[in-house]
Amino acid sequence: MTTTTERAVGQPIGRVEGPDKVRGAARYAAEYPVGDDLAYAWVAQSPVARGTLTDMTVDPLVETDDVLAVLWHGNAPRLAEADDPELAVFQSDRISYRGQALALVVARTLEAARRAAATLQLDIEEEPHDSVLRADHPELYTPEKVNPNFPSDTASGDVEAALAGAPVTVDVTYRTPPLHNSPMEPHATTALWTDDDLVLYDSNQHPPGVAASIGGLFGLPADRVHVITEHVGGGFGSKGTARPNAVLAAMAAKVTGRPVRLALPRQALFSMVGHRTPTIQRVRLAATADGHLTAIDHEVVEQSSRLFEFAEQTAVATRHMYAAANRRTGHRLVRLDMPTPRWMRAPGEAPGMVALECAMDELAVTLDLDPIELRVRNEPSVEPESGTPFSSRHYVECLRRGAERFGWHDRDPRPKQRREGDWWIGTGVAGATYPAMAQPSTARVRRLSGDSYEVSIAATDLGTGARTILTQIAADALEVPVSQVRVRIGDSTLPRASVAGGSSGSASWGWAVTGACHSLRESGREEATFDSRELIKQQEKDGKHAFGAHFAEVRVDAVTGEVRVSRLFGMYAAGRILNPRTARSQFLGGMIMGMGMALHEESVLDPAQGAWVNHDLAEYHIPVHADIESIEAEWLDEQDDQLNPMGSKGIGEIGIVGSPAAILNAIRHATGVRIRDLPARLDKIL
């Protein structure tokens, strides 16, 4: 075995698949050549939010030879019961949300499929619907759990008494709108049946999970569904599980006996693959005159659907951010006639920390105390609700070191003090946190000829650099240069991996890869497999979080209300950083998405139709290059030996947690205007 002098982990190695991507050789789900008989599918979606589909007729003028099949509940193959009712496509006449797939046209050409779908006659008996989230909705209820498995409500001490007796209190309500993930690569599937087995080229975050759920629907064991997901152009949670496109493509391929491709158009993504729930969040804080919190109360109202319960963990981060003797958190849901909300980058933490970190800023203003100092004064020594010690927590260091790097020390706390030309200038700060999770996974390593190694795991790379990091981890565990390691991922037939979600990919897969490589070396064999399940079971789950601090400088046009983020800075403590190049990119990506949440992104609901009014990137605004001025991420070296063999924490989501609040707090500092209803559009500022 070769001895290397320099460890690969920690090096800023470029993405190993980068050259393939640049040359166009990297294939995405809708790009695989699968034969001349490939057929194309187009979805007809429900124009109403609630009702029944009683009949469907195809216009004989457009039903040409090119149209191979038109599927709907009247003729579709029966599927086994789905865990996710949104996957039970064409299994009943019920319409549960606007945009639901009601029929699928399969044709020889994409154009023929699209044209026929547009002319289908759908006979619908419409029913009244309810799509508006309100804090006083009569059907609010308390879920038993919130995602992934937290109690909905927690309480300790006497919050009301503390609020009544405190010299200083804050009682504020923040609203965040529905948001859509909008990955660059829309959801797509190319499906074909070989004998009785199913092959799916599918864009998702979890090939083994997709194989299991699609297999379940079609009555096949997971090992007879082969899901290939070599490259993914983003997901942000919307590809965490199989979406209807995979079921529809598989169904169409079965019925027509041909390979079928279904690439959802951008517009369909707004109803068929999930969104971030809107939230209404009331935060009440009580403090002593010198800024010690005596009570924290965070109550959230959010949306679920008629189909199944999705309960986002919006107030959960509040349970461990700050010390206070009296505390309460709670979640209330209402089932609306809307698509079910799903995961979107830092689901829970991102909207929840908008409310908490803006409320902390409001408290700092009320106390006339520096907002960093307020946070430092309320630093807990253990998790305030569970009592578990933190495996590592360098939040205060992130605030202090970030303040130095950003240049915070001579800040005049009064609003509307700095003006340059037409622009009011202000700065803001907010905390960040995200759980450090690891999930059971299995990896295999084989020694090949020429002293090189092949590592296999059914992980996915969403464009984040996962493949590269696993190569680095394996190289170090095998003590060889990265050039001698080839990592195979993105295929459900490889050893089972956990989902690329919850910022847990590197920790989970890296653990299994490290185990397999060590086992290979110890055994002296040519091949070794390692399953991390037992080790992960033995781990303490509480007390493991990444932390960070976000700093923003904005300028707000005094005449137009336009907001520009002139500086955005993140300082993180997220365990060991495995690859500074891909990590920086992850942090910045999260912060940019946070900027979108603060200023641009909003899925606008038409309550009369139960419909998203904006459903493409022309009208759903995300930050573009011209919105970004100075943006930078740094991190502290954090040692934590209670995590995983690499000592890493997840970094994919923490960038969007707190960055919106830092921007909103900066807007208030610049202008004196406190925005509590996101996004901070200019009409709200003027």
Q: Name the residues annotated as catalytic.
A: 653
One DSSP character per residue, 349-417 reads: HHHHHHHHHHHHHHHHHHHT--HHHHHHHT--SS-TTT-PPPS---HHHHHHHHHHHHT-TT---SSS-
Q: Indicate the residue among 178 and 371 with the shorter CB distance to ligand MOS.
A: 178
User: Which residues are CB-contacts of 169 (< 8 A; sequence separation ≥ 6)?
Assistant: 163, 284, 285, 286, 287
Nearest approach in angstroms of CB 181 to ligand MOS is 8
What is the H or E stretch that residue 171 is in? Answer: strand 168-176
Which of the residues 225 through 264 are near ligand MOS (CB under 6 A)? 235-237, 240
Nearest approach in angstroms of CB 315 to ligand MOS is 17
Q: Indicate the residue among 179 and 336 with the shorter CB distance to ligand MOS.
A: 179
**Bond before 607 cis per omega within 30 degrees:** no
One DSSP character per residue, 402-427 reads: HHHHHT-TT---SSS-EEETTEEEEE
Q: Taking CB under 6 A as the rule, which mask of x and - marks residues 495-514 in contact with ligand MOS?
A: ------xx------------
Q: Indicate the residue among 206 and 284 with the shorter CB distance to ligand MOS.
A: 206
Residue 615, interface with ligand MOS (CB under 6 A)? no
Residue 347, interface with ligand MOS (CB under 6 A)? yes
Q: How far is CA 537 from CA 440, 507, 510, 543, in A?
A: 8, 14, 16, 15
Choose, by CB under 6 A, the member of 28, 42, 310, 343 that binds ligand MOS: 343
Nearest approach in angstroms of CB 240 to ligand MOS is 5
Residue 64: Cβ within 10 Å count: 12
Nearest approach in angstroms of CB 504 to ligand MOS is 8
Compute the distance between CA of residue 213 and CA of residue 222 in angstroms, rounded to an integer: 8
Q: Which stretch binds ligand MOS (CB under 6 A): 42-50, 301-309, 339-347, 368-376?
A: 339-347
Cβ contact 363:168 at 8 Å: yes
Q: Indicate the residue among 176 and 205 with the shorter CB distance to ligand MOS.
A: 205
Q: Indicate the residue among 143 and 237 with the shorter CB distance to ligand MOS.
A: 237
Nearest approach in angstroms of CB 660 to ligand MOS is 16
Cβ contact 56:72 at 8 Å: yes
Nearest approach in angstroms of CB 351 to ligand MOS is 12
Cβ contact 323:380 at 8 Å: yes
Strand partners, 575: 648
Compute the distance between CA of residue 110 and CA of residue 477 in angstroms, rounded to an integer: 48
Nearest approach in angstroms of CB 664 to ligand MOS is 22
Q: Indicate the residue among 299 and 461 with the shorter CB distance to ligand MOS.
A: 461
Choose, by CB under 6 A, the member of 166, 280, 344, 646 that binds ligand MOS: 344
Compute the distance between CA of residue 686 and CA of residue 684 in angstroms, rounded to an integer: 6
Query: Total binding residues for ligand MOS by CB under 6 A?
Result: 11
Compute the distance between CA of residue 668 and CA of residue 186 in angstroms, rounded to an integer: 36
Q: Which stretch binds ligand MOS (CB under 6 A): 75-83, 343-351, 395-403, 416-424?
A: 343-351
What is residue 55's three-state secondary structure?
strand
Choose, by CB under 6 A, the member of 261, 320, 335, 345 that binds ligand MOS: 345
Compute the distance between CA of residue 471 and CA of residue 453 in angstroms, rounded to an integer: 10
By beta-carbon distance, which residue lies closest to ligand MOS? Answer: 237
Q: Indicate the residue among 343 and 551 with the shorter CB distance to ligand MOS.
A: 343
The DSSP code for 625 is G
Footprint on this chain of ligand MOS (rule: CB under 6 A):
205, 235-237, 240, 343-345, 347, 501-502
